[in-house]
Structure 1
Amino acid sequence: MASALSALCLTLVQSPPAVAASVLSPMDATRMKLTAGDFQSRWDAISAIEASGRVTSYTGQTALTPLLDGKGRTGTRGLCHATNLNPDYKPDGFCWDTADDTSAEWTPQGLTASHDAQPGGTWLGKYVYIASWHYTGDTFARISVVDNSPGLPTTYDHVLLVDPYGAGSAANFRAVGDPNSGRTPVPGGHADGISWYGSKLFLATGHQIQVYDLRHLWRMSDNTAASVGIQGDGRSTARYHNWALPMIGVYHNGNKGDPCTDTAPCLTSLSLDRTGADGLITSEINATGGRPVVRWPLNATDALLQTDGARNHLGTVTATVAYRVPIWKVQGAATDGTHYYFSGECPAYAGSTDSDVPYCVHWAVPNQAPHVLTYAPPLTQNLSWSPSAGRLWGLNERADHTAPGKRVVFSLDPPD
């Protein structure tokens, strides 16, 4: 780890204030609950679709293998854009290709990695990162599966997120975010925070945590169509994507558009906490702060959230820990077991409408005021803690729609 916190050595003229206005104060977590949604019908639809042969299915623990073959898109290893990060913290990372760096349609939000998936830090012997992206209008959602293993080019593939439905020969799938899904609650398409735990991938979308199983990856028969699903002529399509990943279920505390409250907080960022009993960490964005960071319990046996039901795809999840966060516009939260890290507005730029001003990574311990750890890339989003490397990861959503763009995935080595 880096040495004790030193003065920030940045190229910016103004240094950030050291302390925020209030403390990370405890809240009553027992009043915060999530209800398990429909898992069984989705499992039934997945089985029927795979049995039909209309998709090429890759199943089991090695299902991600075809995404880690060194093909697909090629990113840039290292920090290709200015990040504002304190150089004392040994920043590193990677960048997307030019099309994704500058896309006006797709926006990156969440980040997780094989350091979340299992304690050893790798998956199939590789250092794998997964980012979530939402589409303009939130009618589609996707992930990017990145091989960023040392000594190799940074390569990745995009995978559309889909919702399976129906049974038998009528089983099909639609885009996550399709407003005509017919489900309650309607699966949200604003793909935000993401976290990888064992074989499961969790995605935060406002009042939902959607669940995907990385043991079921589908290759489409046609990547030239805008449609999503199994078409009348038998083709499988996923809006120009080669790959699709089916949702298996959802945990929710409301519907899209419902208010964010202290008992039903909105779930915008997501990270994994392996310190003590495993849990998911969520936070909620608010213009002037004061919203919760919450810990939800996980079950290591089935890699699902822990409910009070006979099985963890049934019943209710009750939060175990919650704190009120005084930082403005929190976009991400993670913990190393001692500190909580938050991405949010810098005190020096709070309330700014300039999308190019730096964001800040703040850190805090419960019952104490947050401090600014470092400036960060503009519009920094979700964070992820790597216990195997002792590094904090994050990404930003800022785009300049002309080359070379401004998006970067970064990591840093914070002080003890």
Structure 2
Amino acid sequence: MKHRGRHRRRRRGRALRASLAGTALALTAAATLISTSQAAGSPTPGALSSITSPDELRRLQLRETLTDGTGLRTLTTKTGGAVDVEEVLRSANHTMRGEGDCFGAEKNSLPVEPVAARAYCWEPGDAVDDRWVPRSVTTSRNNQVIAAGWTHTGAGSDTPGGHPTRAGGPGVGAPDEEGLARVAFVDASDPANLKYRWVLLVVPTADGQDFEGLRSRLGGMAWYDDKLIVTARGPESRGRRDDSLYVFDLARFLRADVTDSEVIGKAGDGWSAHHYRYALPAIAAYSPPAGGGCDARDNDGVPCLGSLSLDRTSTPPTVVASERFRPGREEPARVWRYALDLTSDRTGLLTTTGRESSAVATEAYQTEATGVRGVLAHQGDWYVDQAAEKPDGHGTLWRQDEDGAQVAKCAETEADEKAGLRSYACWGRHTASLSYSPETGELWTLTDPIPERVLYAVKLKDVDGTLD
């Protein structure tokens, strides 16, 4: 997993470049100006720092809670039987716009260097809907399906507050929508014609007789085999949150036969998923030990879950997570990974140990990058998406390991190009989440603000080819 030979070659290469650079500086006082004032975050986060302390690693543990299998089967039967992702895609009823049909503001969110291999924009109604915000992206192994997670902001809700979104009977008013989570399942089998269908994420009740909406800000997603893993931000109490990972079975979508109702769950003689045709129930959850919660104020305690992605190149495959902080906090972030279980009846769940079925981090680091928006691990390298220093600026995509950090340099604007100014702010604007597709070698991400919502892919080899 460490690729030591490659690291030694990088060190020798860096030593040679340093020697040549020193010679050049000795010969002339002139040097190319790198505008660090325009770089996202600090000039460089340097090398990753390995976390090995047992106490620090213990803060990364998550306790597993499985949905009752009997209750889940009961619920599936009551709603008419399970539906798979193929059926969901066959009913796709929304069309994405190709890059040529994207608005200028949407295309302005694309990276400067490297350029996007392809880009898509959402149907106009979703592109400007301030009630829902895109937060995360992941792809199936063959890149035929893209899943994008969106969170309800609370705008337009009849009832403000942080209460669970529960089912209601006939005549019950609209439930509080804030924090509801939905996923756009995008049929990407034809790159020239992407279509998608919305699915509501739900949690079954303990007795299997009903379900309620999952209230979550989806900071990250990972798709392995037939499992979808998402990060869920819980309510805050005294500075702490109950963040969790939820796992969903992509072979077990539930049908909602009542599509003209705000209700979530049992609706009269039928089932409703807040106007959506399908609901996807959670089959497992992973959270900090009881009473612990996470702390988004600094990087000393239990970390709050930020982004999430899948690393297929590790053995076994792992999900990779990054730490999330409160807005405005400039803290170095922790990044770490959990192993996925490969046994037949637990494929796609996290590997657990002990009587409490705890998932432990198999590798953990601290990056000096601040404002981390997404993280991806691939063949021993860690790609860290750092938010822009300026509100309207481009972000920075670092490649880090235990030896150092590399990054692309570019002229962010035409004026910078004419002045010979280059910076590290080359990645997209307002990006959220990273996902790698091995079939096409593409690195996917999406952007969230109105009117700059775009879903795009960059070839990972192009990312690596621009790094200095």
TM above 0.5:
yes
Larger Rg: 2
Verify the 8 A CA contact 1:129 1:145 in the aligned structure 2.
yes
Q: How does 1:157-196 map to 2 (within 5 A)?
A: 157-167=197-207, 171-177=209-215, 189-196=216-223
Give the aligned residue type for 1:132: G
Task: Between 156-165 and 202-211, report the one with greater CA deviation.
Answer: 202-211
CA distance 1:132–1:84, change in 2 (3 Å): closer
The structure 2 residue matched to 1:25, chosen from 43, 49, 66, is 49
SS at 2:72's partner residue? helix
Give the aligned residue type for 1:275: T
- 1:67 corresponding residue in structure 2: 88
- 1:221 corresponding residue in structure 2: 257
- 1:304 corresponding residue in structure 2: 349
- 1:34 corresponding residue in structure 2: 61
Per-residue deviation, 1:46: 1.9
Q: Distance in 2 between matches of 1:141 and 1:164?
A: 15
Q: Distance in 1 between matches of 2:357 and 2:49?
A: 29
TM-score under structure 2 length normalisation? 0.71
Per-residue deviation, 1:156: 0.1
1:288 is aligned to 2:330: yes
CA distance 1:200–1:406, change in 2 (3 Å): same
Per-residue deviation, 1:69: 1.9
What CA deviation, in whole Å up to 9, does each residue of 1:260-311 have, x standing for no partner? 455522111000011121100000234313110111111123221000158x
1:128 is aligned to 2:164: no
- 2:81 corresponding residue in structure 1: 57
Q: Distance in 2 between matches of 1:343 and 1:24?
A: 14
Give the aligned residue type for 1:239: H
SS at 2:372's partner residue? coil
Extract unaligned runs of 5+ from structure 2: 1-34, 155-177, 234-242, 410-424
Give the aligned residue type for 2:49: S
1:253 is aligned to 2:288: yes
TM-score under structure 1 length normalisation? 0.80
SS at 1:100's partner residue? helix
What CA deviation, in whole Å up to 9, does each residue of 1:58-107 have, x standing for no partner? 34xxx111222263101113372223413554531221111111111111
CA distance 1:395–1:265, change in 2 (3 Å): same
Per-residue deviation, 1:25: 1.4
- 1:204 corresponding residue in structure 2: 231
Per-residue deviation, 1:151: 5.0
Q: Distance in 2 between matches of 1:227 and 1:256?
A: 33
Q: Distance in 1 between matches of 2:361 and 2:373?
A: 20
CA distance 1:139–1:97, change in 2 (3 Å): same
Task: Between 156-165 and 76-85, report the one with greater CA deviation.
Answer: 76-85
Q: Which has the higher helix share?
A: 2
Q: CA RMSD in A?
A: 2.6
SS at 1:398's partner residue? coil
Task: Between 143-152 and 327-336, report the one with greater CA deviation.
Answer: 143-152
CA distance 1:94–1:196, change in 2 (3 Å): same
CA distance 1:257–1:340, change in 2 (3 Å): same
- 1:48 corresponding residue in structure 2: 74
CA distance 1:105–1:90, change in 2 (3 Å): closer
Give the aligned residue type for 1:395: L
- 2:270 corresponding residue in structure 1: 235
1:339 is aligned to 2:381: yes
- 1:391 corresponding residue in structure 2: 442
Q: Distance in 2 between matches of 1:371 and 1:285?
A: 22
SS at 1:58's partner residue? coil
Q: How does 1:142-161 map to 2 (within 5 A)?
A: 142-150=182-190, 152-161=192-201
Give the aligned residue type for 1:69: R
SS at 1:415's partner residue? helix
Q: Distance in 2 between matches of 1:306 and 1:88?
A: 36
Q: Distance in 2 between matches of 1:166 and 1:196?
A: 26
Verify the 8 A CA contact 1:56 1:220 in the aligned structure 2.
no
Q: Distance in 2 between matches of 1:31 and 1:77?
A: 46
Task: Between 63-72 and 325-334, report the one with greater CA deviation.
Answer: 63-72
Q: Distance in 1 between matches of 2:146 and 2:292?
A: 28
What CA deviation, in whole Å up to 9, does each residue of 1:331-377 have, x standing for no partner? 1000221421122224xxx2x4x3x3222222222241353566233
CA distance 1:357–1:57, change in 2 (3 Å): farther
Q: Distance in 1 between matches of 2:441 and 2:331?
A: 28
Give the aligned residue type for 1:235: G
Would you say how many aligned residue pairs link Structure 1 and Structure 2? 362
1:76 is aligned to 2:102: no
- 1:183 corresponding residue in structure 2: none
Q: Distance in 2 between matches of 1:362 and 1:398?
A: 23
1:411 is aligned to 2:457: yes
- 1:4 corresponding residue in structure 2: none
Give the aligned residue type for 2:244: Q
